[in-house]
Structure 1
Amino acid sequence: MDIATAPSPRAFIGVSEVWVPEGDRLVHAGGAYGAMGAFEEASRRVSFGRGEGLPGKAWAEARPVVLKGFDGSYFQRTEAAKAAGLTSAVALPVFAGETLKAVLVVLCGDDETTTGAIEVWAEHDGLLLLDDGYYGAAKHFEWVSQHTHFPKGQGLPGGVWAAQTPMLFRDLGSGYRFIRSESAGAAGLTTGLGLPVPVPGGRAYVATLLSARGTPIARRFEIWDAREARLGKEGGAVLTDGLCEREGPLWNEDSPRRAQIWQGPIGQVLGSGLPVVSWGGTLAAGYSTMVALPIHRGEEIAHIVAWYI
């Protein structure tokens, strides 16, 4: 069946949005909301100071933040989120050295069948421990994760920590490299994207996005390398790894492997240093949303990770 006509499974992430600093506030800079128009309108009307709301908390504390419930929390759009069926959110700050460039927020809904994971791992005494995570219905996998730690180089979080580069793991349920493979297989998790989250202060944070077939985080993942040592004089970014449900290669004459500055969504990230959320008719057939997230090393972009829903 052609991907353009095949029914798409329900996505794990319901909303993706970007907040950027403007003076002493974080203001709305784009997002993909699907049919959640009322929540989009509520989001466009607000801004956040340092420490205010979920984006402001990620800014003030200079770390990724997971919020698994909105009632009684510091989340400022609770009523609009509840009306849209959104129940949890993760905020990933984007720092270039000491400077906050943006905060990417993804929001999810919760029910008995939504399965997947967005995890934040933090360095403690030479190990990565689970700081927090949202797992939907994967409760046993959540328990296993809470009781797991990673030294440098071990598993997906430890591998990302050691290499300081994003990594993509396939076949989580059977892959020997994925330490939690048995519980991942039982939960139906298939694909894992791990990425470093550089923040001021030197403490290591790693975010992992673990996707299941029934409610995937994404149906295509890409890792782009923007380091000058790899690119030479041509500049831009090179697609070095990825995975999608379509058959065939990730790059060809219609989908080039190299992206140049300001050309397409990846080029926009290269030029601006900001995350880009694209949606609707600008994307290839079969996809509704693309999120492209820069990962800086010092002041410069080293990698870009992208996922398509």
Structure 2
Amino acid sequence: MDVAIDTPTKTFIQVAEIWVPEGETLVHGGGSYGDLAAFEQASRRESFARGQGLPGRAWEEARPVVLKGFDGSYFKRTEAAAEAGLTSAVAVPVFAGKTLKAVLVVLCGDDENRTGAIEVWKEQDRILVLDDGYYGAARHFEWVSQHTRFPAGQGLPGGVWASATPILMRDLGSGYRFIRADAAGKAGLTTGLGLPVPTPFGAAHVLTLLSARGTPIARRFEIWDARAAKVGKGGGAALVDGICAREGALWDPENAGQERRAEPWQGSIGKVLGSGLPVVESGKPGLAAGYGSMVALPIYQGPDLAHIVAWYV
């Protein structure tokens, strides 16, 4: 029996939505809006041409795009966002080879207590530099990040870049593997999820989601491996890492033979496997462990689905 979880009153990400291409237009493909009903209605009526609005800009530029203020920008839903208390957004394109599958957009509000980080790292001269990010109240951590560089294999962004796989990192404030541990500890950041963002051309990009205890990005993180070498020709995906605020570790490497698996079209992860598209679900009784909402994002290597990362609130 699923057990309800005491969801925090404030999460770092307030809205997650999917935009999918139909011809030369991006249309609404689902989302989680919490109690922001008016913003949800405005979003469902919207669509974006290539280069138009935030989703269209991520499509046109074929890279993740951070927008830390809406007034005077190309953001199309500025009035509705202001009424909902939303101030910043990040758009993440999902490419399979050169084909755009979807754009995931997450939106955040800004107040003195909301702490966390959504970062985009970009390859520049064979090193990763911060392209942009949203940090809420974690101002010092933002400054440290702006002045940090990562060679391949170093820290969370560098580890993702070198392996071309998503990585989940615990205990950011005390872990020696997390280069910015001191600043992360002072900001209250606890868990980091890093994932590669493949693009058809140009420099490599890495997205990092850093969660704080008071205003978490998620209460549960999962990484699924969908590569044929891992799961066999029959398809499906295997859980290769995960952590839950209540359950602890979700995967035990010593018992890999008893690993959790997902099959196409079975459950939320199965929907990603079957469709090849991101999935955002909210308020459905079938969600894992009674969570209120979840995001599952596919990661491709060339034209093939390689991994799925999921987070639950």
Tell me, yes or no, whether TM beats 0.5. Answer: yes
What is the alpha-carbon root mean square deviation over aligned residues? 1.7
* Correspondence for 1:209: 209
- What whole-Å deviation, never above 9, does each CA across 1:220-260 have from its counterpart, x for those lacking one? 000000000111244200000011012365269xx971000
Q: Residue 13 of structure 1 aligns to a residue in which SS? A: coil
Higher mean alpha-carbon deviation, 233-242 vs 128-137, is at 233-242
**Shift in alpha-carbon separation, 1:240–1:89, aligned structure 2, 3 A:** same
- Contact 1:9–1:214 (CA under 8 A) maintained in structure 2: no
The answer as to whether partners of 1:119 and 1:134 remain within 8 angstroms in 2 is yes
Task: Map 1:214-253 onto structure 2 (within 5 A).
Answer: 214-247=214-247, 250=250
TM-fit CA distance, 1:203: 1.6
CA deviation vs aligned residue, 1:276-302 (integer Å, no higher than 9, x gap): 001112324541110000000011100
2:287 is matched with 283
User: Are the counterparts in 2 of residues 42 and 77 from structure 1 also a CA contact under 8 Å?
Assistant: yes
Alignment correspondent of 2:176: 176
Map of 1:274 onto structure 2: 277
1:307 lines up with 2:272 in the alignment:
no
1:296 matched to 2:304: no
Identify if the C-alpha distance between structure 1 residues 283 and 208 changes in structure 2 by more than 3 Å, giving closer, same or farther.
same
Which segments of structure 1 move beyond 4 Å, counting only runs of 4 or more? none
Q: TM-score, normalised by structure 1?
A: 0.96
What is the aligned partner in structure 2 of residue 166 from structure 1? 166
Matches within 5 A, 1:120-199: 120-199=120-199
Task: Give the TM-score normalised by structure 2.
Answer: 0.95
Q: Which amino acid aligns with 2:104?
A: L
Counterpart-to-counterpart distance in 2, 1:225 and 1:5:
27
In the alignment, structure 2 segments of 5+ residues that lack a partner are: 253-257
Distance (whole Å) between structure 1 residues aligned to residue 13 and residue 259 of structure 2: 27
Task: Report the alpha carbon displacement of residue 196 of structure 1 after superposing the two structures with TM.
Answer: 0.1
Aligned partners of 1:261 and 1:270 also within 8 Å: yes
Contact 2:64–2:91 (8 Å) recurs in 1: yes
Deviation at residue 8 of structure 1 after TM alignment? 2.7
Quick one: structure 1 residues 138 and 149, their matched pair in 2 at CA, closer, same or farther if it must change by over 3 Å? same
Does the 8 Å contact 2:241/2:251 carry over to 1? no
Partner of 1:59: 59
CA distance in 1, matches of 2:79, 2:173: 38
| Aligned residues of 2:242 and 2:251 also touching (Cα < 8 A) | no
Aligned partners of 2:96, 2:105: CA distance in 1, in Å?
Answer: 18
CA contact (8 A) 2:8 2:215 kept: no
Deviation at 1:140, TM superposition (A): 0.3
Letter in 1 for 2:300: H
CA distance in 1, matches of 2:8, 2:135: 21
CA contact 2:198–2:301 (8 Å) conserved in 1: yes
CA distance in structure 1 between the partners assigned to 2:6 and 2:140 by the alignment: 31
What is the CA-CA distance between 1:265 and the residue it aligns to?
A: 1.1
Cα separation, 1, equivalents of 2:136 and 2:167: 23
Distance in 2 (alpha carbons) for counterparts of 1:65 and 1:108: 14
Partner of 2:255: none
Mapped contact 2:118–2:209 kept (Cα < 8 A): yes
Q: Answer whether contact 2:101 2:277 (CA < 8 A) is retained.
A: yes
Q: Is the 8 A contact 1:9 1:216 kept in 2?
A: no
Which deviates more, 233-242 or 205-214? 233-242
- Structure 1 unaligned blocks of 5 or more: none
